[in-house]
Amino acid sequence: MLAIHLNAYGDPAENLELVNLPEPSAPGPGEVLIGVEFSPINPADLLLAMGYYALRPTLPSVIGNEGVGIVLAVGDGVTNVKIGDRVVPPLSSFLWRERLVIPAKSLAALPQHADLKQLAMLAVNPVTAALLLSEFRTLKPGDWIVQSAANSGVGRSVIAYAQERGLKTVNIVRREELVAELKAAGGDVVLVDGPDIVERAKASIDNAEIALALDCLSGPATAMLGAILSHGGMLVSYGAMSGAPIALNPGDLIYKALTIRSFFLGHEQYAAKFPALIQQSANLVTAGKLHVPVAATYPLTAIKDAIVHAKRGGKVLLDISGD
Amino acid sequence: MLAIHLNAYGDPAENLELVNLPEPSAPGPGEVLIGVEFSPINPADLLLAMGYYALRPTLPSVIGNEGVGIVLAVGDGVTNVKIGDRVVPPLSSFLWRERLVIPAKSLAALPQHADLKQLAMLAVNPVTAALLLSEFRTLKPGDWIVQSAANSGVGRSVIAYAQERGLKTVNIVRREELVAELKAAGGDVVLVDGPDIVERAKASIDNAEIALALDCLSGPATAMLGAILSHGGMLVSYGAMSGAPIALNPGDLIYKALTIRSFFLGHEQYAAKFPALIQQSANLVTAGKLHVPVAATYPLTAIKDAIVHAKRGGKVLLDISGD
């Protein structure tokens, strides 16, 4: 069967290779055989390939952090899923291959008629968004939050989850053409970064309290969110897409008594919450409340083109079953 | 009586002026007349004069955040202090003047025979140090903490308070000649910043857990402390003496699940704790366990020279009573 191997840590476009691997053996007791259908190329996959991620498998290794698949066979004693069910394997199952055997215990059947590409993106971004809104601050309906990179997969999921919970969002983007789109997706305020963004953000909500900021960019974006937060506010950093160090104005941090925390999906205290959040996110997808635009899909045979596209930007999925 | 007025926000050497003010009136009920003896020039005083501090009095105004004085007269109903007692007025009483009237209620008599210059420095640095060690993490004897600028007034007070509580300190300084001095003052590990400081710091304590870092520098020092902290550690920022933005390696923050908090002595939740901490600090001074070297003293008439010296570095005190 076809698979993608990472042969060395470094430039993923050079070190990811299409290989032909033996078929997995039949599932044993408590296991299932999954046929992978779609798997996105996420920033975390690129970081892993470059060797910058928390996880560094022994090479060569299949990689691929999340995706959706169909149950092709079940081992003895498996009752929670059956052949034909759509499932989202646990994080870091290494899905850039046609088939694999995994334990059944964390799996649950997802809606059969949902958009498979959307289901393929449930395990990282929507789960992250749900946890960002629940693990750091006690928020009640009507409370405001602010986020950078609001058009990202997490950003759009934050908007969807915030709407479900009655929270209001100030969304900062860097391209004017995203404003209408994110407002249509449910963003309460959508602003383009630039001069006076701090003043514009505060004015947009009549200087209401804003107790939580979410940042995956780092660099000046972190400082900007720190300046927008109210006294006693909390900033949660969950990425560093800008490649720059996290920067903060000391006056904001110290005089406003901000707290800076961080979120990493790989920390084990979150793992037990994944199955329920994946189900909840799948329900948002089927209800039309959560949709992340897909820029392109590529077969495994075009892995290098897919990587180049993913590095350029936009959500790129590997279409692994090729249906 | 002589006093120092701040006439405009900007360069303190230009905008601080010796003036002759009327004597304060006699203390009313619950008030005391204080004769100020010594008052340090702290970074917070310079920040206030520059207009960068949280407090911005209407100008012209006397400034001067902390100091020690003697009770010269008491109003009706004052029983907690008597004439001749040494006292530390509350923060921001504006002490760069010979005499002033303040409410008696937060005052307490300090040891009569302690070094007055050391008592003049009790209200900011030792109180800050005590709160840094008690308000953010639950620490038990034997636990390690790490701090930058360990030779500062707060840094030396942290060493003294840590010793009292059985905590162990990794102290980072920038000049080799401070190593022996800070070890003699009770610092468990004292290291000079430079290449491999992170590895040297970890090796110096056999990679023991280090759960709290204290930083008043900001800039690269914050990132250095973030790299030294253990998984789940907390960094408390209480200043930005480098003038640089706070910088952090996102990998440290996110993968190690660090928390960044801040301390500002002016936040009102701390005020009720000051009197007891000032007493406790005075006891450390009289026991010889807390001593901050004084670089020079100047009379009020030499305020401009004093400011120039303070900006160059070293702890400079105004000798206001001139005894």
Catalytic residue among B9, B52, B53, B298: B53
Chain A 186-225, residues with CB within 8 Å of chain B CB atoms: 218, 223
Contact A254 B245 (CB under 8 A): no
Strand order in the sheet with B189-192: A189-192, A168-173, A144-147, A210-215, A234-237, A259-262, B259-262, B234-237, B210-215, B144-147, B168-173, B189-192
pLDDT, averaged across chain A = 95
Contact A240 B260 (CB under 8 A): no
Catalytic residue among A53, A161, A238, A298: A53
What ipTM goes with this model?
0.83
- A153 touches A125 (CB < 8 A): yes
The predicted pLDDT at position B270 comes to 94
User: What tokens does A23 get?
Assistant: 């078929």
The predicted pLDDT at position A52 comes to 87
Torsion, CA B117, CA B56, CA B52, CA B97, rounded to 10: -20
B250 touches chain A (CB under 8 A): yes
The predicted pLDDT at position A54 comes to 80
Helix, strand, or coil here: B150?
Answer: coil
pLDDT, averaged across chain B = 95
Contact A239 B251 (CB under 8 A): no
CATH code for the domain defined by B125-262: 3.40.50.720
The predicted pLDDT at position B308 comes to 96
Find the residue in B nearest to A217 (Cα).
B250
CA A281 to each of CA A121, A266, A288: distance values in angstroms, whole numbers, following the listed order: 10, 18, 11
Average pLDDT over every residue of B147-154:
95
A22 touches chain B (CB under 8 A): no
Average pLDDT over every residue of B19-32:
97
Contact A263 B254 (CB under 8 A): yes
Chain B contact set for A257 (CB, 8 A): 261-262, 264, 267
CA A300 to each of CA A23, A294, A321, B91: distance values in angstroms, whole numbers, following the listed order: 16, 17, 9, 67
* Residue A98 pLDDT grade (very low, low, confident, very high; cuts 50, 70, 90): very high
Query: What single letter denotes the amino acid at residue A212?
Result: L
Chain B contact set for A218 (CB, 8 A): 250
Radius of gyration of chain A (CA): 20
- B162 touches B235 (CB < 8 A): no
Chain A contact set for B251 (CB, 8 A): 52, 240
Contact B259 A260 (CB under 8 A): yes
Share of chain B above pLDDT 70, in %: 100
Q: Using the predicted structure, report yes or no on whether residue B26 has a pLDDT greater than 70.
A: yes
The predicted pLDDT at position B323 comes to 64
pLDDT tens column, B270-314? 999 999 999 999 999 999 999 999 999 999 999 999 999 999 988
The predicted pLDDT at position B174 comes to 94
Q: Using the predicted structure, report yes or no on whether residue A323 has a pLDDT greater than 80.
A: no
The predicted pLDDT at position A80 comes to 95
Residue B298 CB contacts under 8 Å (≥ 6 apart), including other chains:
B305, B306, B309, B316, B317, B318, B319
Chain B contact set for A237 (CB, 8 A): 250, 253-254
Chain A 28-57, residues with CB within 8 Å of chain B CB atoms: 52, 54
Residue A200 CB contacts under 8 Å (≥ 6 apart), including other chains:
A191
Contact A245 B267 (CB under 8 A): no
Chain A contact set for B237 (CB, 8 A): 250, 253-254
Question: In chain A, which residue ranges form alpha helices assigned H by DSSP?
Answer: 12-15, 43-50, 116-119, 125-134, 153-165, 178-184, 197-204, 220-228, 250-255, 274-286, 303-312
pLDDT tens column, B230-264? 999 999 999 998 989 999 999 999 999 999 999 99
- B235 touches A226 (CB < 8 A): no
Q: Which of A223, A260, A267 sits opposite B260 (nearest CB)?
A: A260
B231 touches chain A (CB under 8 A): no
Indicate the domain borders of chain B.
2-123+274-319, 125-262
Contact B257 A267 (CB under 8 A): yes
A136 touches chain B (CB under 8 A): no
Query: What single letter denotes the amino acid at residue B81?
Result: V
Rounded Cα gap, residues A218 and B238, in angstroms: 21
CA A51 to each of CA A16, A59, A312: distance values in angstroms, whole numbers, following the listed order: 13, 11, 19
- B237 touches B208 (CB < 8 A): no
Instruction: From the options 3.90.1280.10, 3.40.50.2000, 3.20.10.10, 3.90.180.10, give the CATH code of A2-123+279-319.
Output: 3.90.180.10
A245 touches chain B (CB under 8 A): yes
Please say if A52 is a catalytic residue: no
Q: Comparing C-alpha atoms, which of B223, B214, B227 is closest to residue B149?
A: B214
- A18 touches A309 (CB < 8 A): no
Place of tokens 């059956």: A82
Q: Which of A245, A250, A262 sits opposite B254 (nearest CB)?
A: A262
Contact B262 A267 (CB under 8 A): no
Helix, strand, or coil here: A8?
Answer: coil
- The CATH architecture annotation of domain B2-123+274-319 reads Alpha-Beta Complex (3.90)
User: What tokens does B222 get?
Assistant: 């914050």
The predicted pLDDT at position B113 comes to 85
Q: Comparing C-alpha atoms, which of A18, A26, A67 is closest to residue A45?
A: A67
Chain B 257-286, residues with CB within 8 Å of chain A CB atoms: 257-264, 267
